[in-house]
Amino acid sequence: MKRYALVTGASGGIGEEISRKLAGEGWNLYLQYYKGKEKVERLQRELEGMGAEVISIQADLASAEGARFLASQLFTLEAVVFAGGTAHYSLFQEIEEAEMDKLWQLHVKSPMILVQLTIPKLRKAMSPSIVFVSSVWGQTGAACEVAYSTVKGAQIAFVKALAKELAPSNIRVNAVAPGAVNTPMMDQFSLEEKAEIAGEIPMGRLGAAAEVAEAVYFVCSSASSYITGHVLAVNGGWYT
C-alpha cells in the first residue's frame, strides 16, 4: 500500500530536507507551500526522480480557508508533518496585533483545523502519525521572540494533549524541537552573530536541516511505534 505524507512548508529549508528524507525512505508526498513555487517545482522533479509520487499544493496557511482548501486536496494519508512557519524578531511591546494574529493562525490554528479534517483519513492508515516541527523556544522561551516562543509552546501543548486523545486510534503525535539550524530563517543574523550563537551551543555549531529531517523521519517510522506525546530536542545540547 502506498504511504503518503503531507509536509507543510516544503519550500523552507527544513521542509525541503524532510521531504527529501521521506522520499528517500519510500514515502509519497504532498508538498504544501505558499511562496517559492519554482523551488517546490524543482524539489518535486527531484523527488519524482527518486521514485516518489509527489503532489504540490499551494495554500496559504495564514488563513483558515487555506487550511480547509489544503485538506480538500488530500486523498490518502499516513503522516502529517507541520514544518512551515515564520519567526518574528522584535521587542514584544513593538509587535503589532496583526503580526500576533498571523503567527497564531499559521503555527497553531491552521494546523489544528488541518488535524481535525485529516483525522478520518489518518484513522484508515496502517501506522499514522502527526509531527510538529516546533522550536527550542517553545520549550524555554526567548527574549525578543516572545510571540514566536508562545506559538511554538502552544504547538507542544497541543501535541501532548492530542497524543492522549488519539492514542486509542493508534495515531501517534510528536514534536521535534530544533535549536539554531542553518537555514534561510537564520539570515536575519550576521555571520558574527551566528558565530556567537554557535559558541553558546555545547556542540559548538549550528544544526543542519538534514539533521532535523532525520529526527522527523524517526518519529514517523516504525522505529518509534511506542512513542507518542514526546518532544524530541535537536539542539546540540543548547537546552536540555
User: Which residue in 30, 33, 148, 217 is the catalytic one?
Assistant: 148
Residue 186 is assigned to a structural domain of this protein: yes
Pairing of strands 172-178, 129-133: parallel
The answer to whether 83 and 10 have CB atoms below 8 angstroms apart is yes
pTM: 0.96
Residue 101 falls inside a structural domain: yes
- Distance, in Å, from the CA atom of 167 to the CA atom of 162, rounded to the nearest integer, reads 8
What CATH number is attached to the domain comprising 181?
Answer: 3.40.50.720
Question: How do residues 198-239 score in pLDDT, each as one tens digit?
Answer: 999 999 999 999 999 999 999 999 999 999 999 999 999 999
Residue 126: pLDDT over 90: yes
Domain count, the chain: 1
Spatial distance between the Cα atoms of 223 and 65, rounded to a whole number of angstroms:
35
Query: So what's the pLDDT on residue 184?
Result: 85
pLDDT digits 0-9 by tens, 63-117: 999 999 999 999 999 999 999 999 999 999 999 999 999 999 999 999 999 999 9
Residue 185 contacts residue 135 (beta carbons within 8 Å):
no
239 is a domain residue: no
Which residues form the domain of 110?
Answer: 4-234
Domain membership flag for residue 167: yes
Alpha helices in 12-106 (DSSP H): 13-24, 37-49, 64-72, 97-104
C-alpha cell at 120: 478520518
33 is catalytic: no
Cell 509527489 belongs to residue? 54
d(CA 170, CA 27): 19
pLDDT at 2: 85
Position 240 in a domain: no
